[in-house]
Amino acid sequence: MANAIRALAMDAVEQARSGHPGMPMGLADVATVLFGRFLKFDPSSPDWPDRDRFVLSNGHGSMLLYALLYLTGYPDIDIDEIRNFRQLGSRTAGHPEYGVAAGIETTTGPLGQGLANAVGMALAERSMAARFGSELVDHHTYVVCGDGCLMEGISQEAISLAGHLRLDRLIVLYDSNDISIDGPTSLASPTTLARVSNPPVGIRSASTATIPRPSRRPSLQPRPSPGPR
Amino acid sequence: MALAERWLATRFNRPGHDIIDHYTYAIVSDGDLQEGVAAEAASLAGTLGLGKLILIYDDNQISIEGDTDIAFLEDVPRRFTAYGWQVTESIDGNDIDAVASAIDDARADTSRPSLVVCRTVIGYGSPNKAGTGGVHGAPLGDDEVALTREQLHWPYPESFTVPGEVREYLTKAVERGRGQQSDWDNTLSSYRENFPSEALRLQDALNGALAPGWSSGLSGLFDDGRAISTREASGKVMNAISDAVPNLIGGSADLAPSTLTILNSEGHIGPGNFDGRNLHFGVREHAMGAVANGIAVHGGAIPYASTFLIFSDYLRPALRLSALMEQRVIYVFTHDSIALGEDGPTHQPVEHLMSLRAMPGLVVIRPADATETAVAWQAALERTEGPTALALSRQNLPVLDRETLAPAHDASRGGYTLWESEGSDPQVIIIATGAEVHTALEAARTLDSEGIATRLVSMPSWELFDEQPKEYRDAVLPPSNRTRLSVEAGATNGWARYVGLDGASIGMSTFGASAPGGVLLEQFGFTAARVVEEARNLVNGG
């Protein structure tokens, strides 16, 4: 499946002669594990209120999301939509647009916004669970973000708030690829605390990516490969 | 400020002559540290190793809504350690000796910025209000003021009384400073003797002066007539004047290959290395703007900051302060409309030009082509009384033929007649900006061939135009001629100012879309054919 994601991403970007292939190709394995083994979702019921939420905060990697939606059979993204990536009238815009296709949980593109939205989603889940009980409300919010997102001040604000509120059903998957547009991230960022290594990684619950809490330490650590996909 | 100090020191200090050698101290609060911009700035400072930056954190556990426990419980020291800072152990901020010792430690570490965590009691000394949110932003009240004087053993019941011993204590500090200043004067004299040309350059740097003839490298820069985007033209302009304006430093928020703002023959400032003029701000627009302001008010360099026009939203508070403080900061904003194409509506500015024009004290210039871009940069560098924002295209644009059209220099007046029909007064005046000018020019010539006398005004800058004498403005836009059409790929709110109640505007009233730029320009009607049609309607309908 991971290679299918890579192939679709490459092909779509070639066809459009525009777009960002790097991140979808780099993160395909993480996405495969997440959707294949953990994510609670049903493409035939995209509005199921108690579904897990998946946010691609680094929205420029939109082909990753579109490939996932296509491969898992979401109704709005068929192969023609993939072919029409970044073309007028398609549902596969350069950056994911909320409201245009089922499975797109929020509009992303400007870095850091998706991560902050995800904090809101996780907060809403906890709030509803408190009001309606965990039988009816119990889901996770997964957000993929990159170096760029985490450099933005808004991410630090959101992470701080999420840690403060102990949103333990929020899981941030930090695509640590050491590259940004201007070059290696070492040009502009010191080494950060927790990294998810690529390829296949384990996913652990973490209240924040960088702010440790006394009672619940973040644990973004690699686990052995889950086996053939 | 700390960055400017290091940059100037690297450039100008010579053996035995530390002509630039000072610290930057900032007092910061819980509120400051919750703001995202502080995280961005701290991260950048740590990466660069700004060792003479010292932050004194007033850790008083209080914010407006109450105890910081309600919203801010994180381990700030550990976060700053992760950023690469030296962090002192938390000290009692109301203990004078502990504070002095901590600042000594901070000063001693010159390879990392330092965070001195001071636990304080907000409103210390007030028996009933200390430690509460209420004491943050409201007067104590007469009774509490009296009780506070008692608690502090401050035996002066009359307000605004300061005893002599306070002045004596401070006199020592002032004398120390005067001594340091006069030592520095001696150093400066010796520096002038031993390093005369450096001394002159230092003077210019500190004055912010531009050398005579600094812009001579710009003439003929685009004579080859090759179509070129205004972002690329801007890059060429910057490099053409780079040697003549040696104090111009700056960078992009991780978009340099797209904003084309690299000074090619200069080095890159990086961790512990301040020998260069190119800064990598990382994806930290807001900190970039604030850092640029810090460089500007510190003095010694002319800062520029660059990103996509859409991301001006991410640094707007800093930009506003540039305007409020009347600082010469040059903001280079590229990818200025739907014409940027496939990245789509999240990246396509619509309301940004108008919203920047609405900001007092900011000059916005959207050049029509490469030749206007050179004029724009000149205006920005000469504008010592405030910031300038340049709005530049992603897409290639034809270079306007200055043999047959008005001279590029006229762009410095903010708006000018680029071309008009010969013979009669215009029946319609078209006002276009930036990338839409060449499209409007094509339309103007078509209208002319249909017998409709047309004037095309290029208006790269509203602010520069409004500064012109009324006679000039009326000559370009005669009040008697009310048949006017504006063309700009952005929000139209505000264009009535120049097109009036009888005029019309071609612009954007919705967000854009994800498709190739050329497709979008057609889709949204920024074509010569549409301009012709609208102009014809105005002439016939009115």
Buried b (16+ CB within 10 A) or exposed e, B137-160: eeebeeebeebbbeeeeeeeeeee
Give the mean model confidence (pLDDT) for residues B225-243. Answer: 97
Q: What are the angstrom distances between the C-alpha of A136 and each of A49, A51, A125, A139, B241?
A: 9, 11, 10, 9, 66
Buried b (16+ CB within 10 A) or exposed e, A155-187: bbbbbbbbbbbebebbbbbbbbbeebbbeebeb
With a CB cutoff of 8 Å and minimum separation 6, the contacts of A56 are A62, A64, A65, A96, A108, A114, A143, A144
Query: Left, alpha or beta for B352 (phi > 0: left; psi -120 to 50: alpha)?
Result: alpha
- Residues 73-92 of chain B with CB under 8 A from chain A are 73-75, 78-79, 82-84
**Are the beta carbons of A145 and A208 closer than 8 angstroms?**
no
The reported pLDDT for the residue numbered B74 is: 84
Three-state DSSP at A131 gives helix
CA distance A93 to A16: 11
B34-68 pLDDT tens trace? 999 999 999 999 999 999 999 999 998 877 887 88
Q: Given A88, A95, A153, which is nearest B284 (Cβ)?
A: A153
Interchain CB distance below 8 Å, B43 and A190: yes
Give the mean model confidence (pLDDT) for residues B162-186. Answer: 93
Share of chain A above pLDDT 90, in %: 75
pTM of the model: 0.92
Angle, CA B93 vertex, CA B50 and CA A157 arms, to 5°: 55
Q: Which two tokens stand for residue A6?
A: 């890579």
The reported pLDDT for the residue numbered A185 is: 58
Share of chain B above pLDDT 90, in %: 91
With a CB cutoff of 8 Å and minimum separation 6, the contacts of B454 are B420, B421, B426, B427, B428, B429, B430, B444, B447, B448, B535
pLDDT grade, residue B136 (50/70/90)? confident
Interchain CB distance below 8 Å, A110 and B310: yes
Element (H, E) at B189: helix B164-194
B282-335 pLDDT tens trace? 999 999 999 999 999 999 999 999 999 999 999 999 999 999 999 999 999 999
Helices B436-449 and B528-541 cross at an angle (nearest 10°) of 50
Three-state DSSP at A128 gives helix
B402-431 pLDDT tens trace? 999 999 999 999 999 999 999 999 999 999
Q: What are the angstrom distances between the C-alpha of B266 and each of A189, B263, B529?
A: 21, 6, 45
Helices A153-164 and B36-48 cross at an angle (nearest 10°) of 110
* Radius of gyration for chain A, computed over Cα atoms and rounded to the nearest angstrom: 17
Chain A residues touching B78 at Cβ < 8 A: 212
Cis amide linkage into residue A199, ω under 30° from 0: yes
Q: Does B449 lie at the interface with A, CB-CB under 8 angstroms? A: no
CA closest to B512 among chain A residues: A88
The reported pLDDT for the residue numbered A182 is: 67
Q: Does B258 lie at the interface with A, CB-CB under 8 angstroms? A: yes
* Å between B48 CA and nearest CA of chain A: 8
The reported pLDDT for the residue numbered B258 is: 97
The reported pLDDT for the residue numbered A188 is: 53
Chain A residues touching B515 at Cβ < 8 A: 86-89
**Are the beta carbons of B59 and B93 closer than 8 angstroms?**
yes
Three-state DSSP at B159 gives coil
| CB-CB neighbours of B108 under 10 Å | 10
Chain A residues touching B45 at Cβ < 8 A: none
With a CB cutoff of 8 Å and minimum separation 6, the contacts of A65 are A54, A56, A96, A103, A104
- Among A13, A60, A156, A207, most B C-beta atoms within 10 A, so best to mutate, is A156
CA dihedral of residues B121, B126, B129, B130 (deg, nearest 10): 10
Interchain CB distance below 8 Å, B40 and A151: yes
Q: Does B237 lie at the interface with A, CB-CB under 8 angstroms? A: no
CA closest to A61 among chain B residues: B343
- Residue B416: which of B475, B484, B333 has the closest Cα? B475
Interchain CB distance below 8 Å, B314 and A151: no
* Å between B257 CA and nearest CA of chain A: 7
Give the per-residue SS3 of B30-60: HHHHHCHHHHHHHHHHHHHCCCCEEEEEEEC
Buried b (16+ CB within 10 A) or exposed e, B218-246: beebbeeeeebbbbbbbbbbbbbbbebbb
Length of chain B in terms of residues written = 542
Q: Which two tokens stand for residue B241?
A: 């004047």
With a CB cutoff of 8 Å and minimum separation 6, the contacts of B368 are B230, B397, B400, B411, B418, B432, B433, B434, B435, B437, B438, B458, B460
Chain B residues touching A207 at Cβ < 8 A: none
For residue B121, pLDDT over 50 is answered with yes
Helices and strands per DSSP (H, E), number in chain A: 7, 5
The reported pLDDT for the residue numbered A177 is: 75
Q: Given A60, A160, A190, which is nearest B84 (Cβ)?
A: A190
First-to-last alpha carbon distance for chain B, in angstroms, is 57
Q: Given A93, A154, A164, which is nearest B344 (Cβ)?
A: A93
Q: What are the angstrom distances between the C-alpha of B341 and each of A88, A110, A138, A224, B349?
A: 10, 16, 40, 42, 11
Burial of B500 (0-12, 13-18, 19+ CB in 10 A): middle
Q: Given A93, A180, A210, which is nearest B254 (Cβ)?
A: A180
Buried b (16+ CB within 10 A) or exposed e, B304-331: bbbbbbbbbbbbbebbbbbbeeebbbbb
What DSSP designation does A21 have?
-
- Residues 130-189 of chain B with CB under 8 A from chain A are none
* Å between A85 CA and nearest CA of chain B: 9
Chain A residues touching B283 at Cβ < 8 A: 111, 147-149, 151-152, 180
Q: Which two tokens stand for residue B419?
A: 């071309």
Exposure of B436 in the CB half-sphere (CA atoms within 13 A): 33
CA distance A148 to B141: 49
Active site residue B74: no
Interchain CB distance below 8 Å, B286 and A153: yes
B481-535 pLDDT tens trace? 999 999 999 999 999 999 999 999 999 999 999 999 999 999 999 999 999 999 9
Q: What is the mean pLDDT of chain A?
A: 82
Query: Of B5, B40, B285, B372, which residue is the catalytic one?
Result: B285
Q: Given A95, A161, A188, which is nearest B47 (Cβ)?
A: A188
Give the mean model confidence (pLDDT) for residues B384-412. Answer: 97
Q: Given B44, B73, B346, which is nearest A95 (Cβ)?
A: B346
Q: Which two tokens stand for residue B407?
A: 């001279």
Interchain CB distance below 8 Å, B82 and A107: no
Chain A residues touching B287 at Cβ < 8 A: 153
* Å between B470 CA and nearest CA of chain A: 42
Q: Which residues partner with A146 through β-bridges?
A: A175
For residue A212, pLDDT over 70 is answered with no
Phi, psi (rounded to 5 degrees) for B195: -135, 65
Q: Does B219 lie at the interface with A, CB-CB under 8 angstroms? A: no
Element (H, E) at A31: helix A22-33
CA distance A220 to B4: 38
Interchain CB distance below 8 Å, B43 and A189: yes
Interchain CB distance below 8 Å, A110 and B311: yes
Indicate the range of A75-84, B128-137, B207-216, B368-377 predicted with least confidence. B128-137
Q: Does B236 lie at the interface with A, CB-CB under 8 angstroms? A: no
The reported pLDDT for the residue numbered A229 is: 31
Q: Given A18, A154, A182, which is nearest B256 (Cβ)?
A: A182
Interchain CB distance below 8 Å, A180 and B282: yes
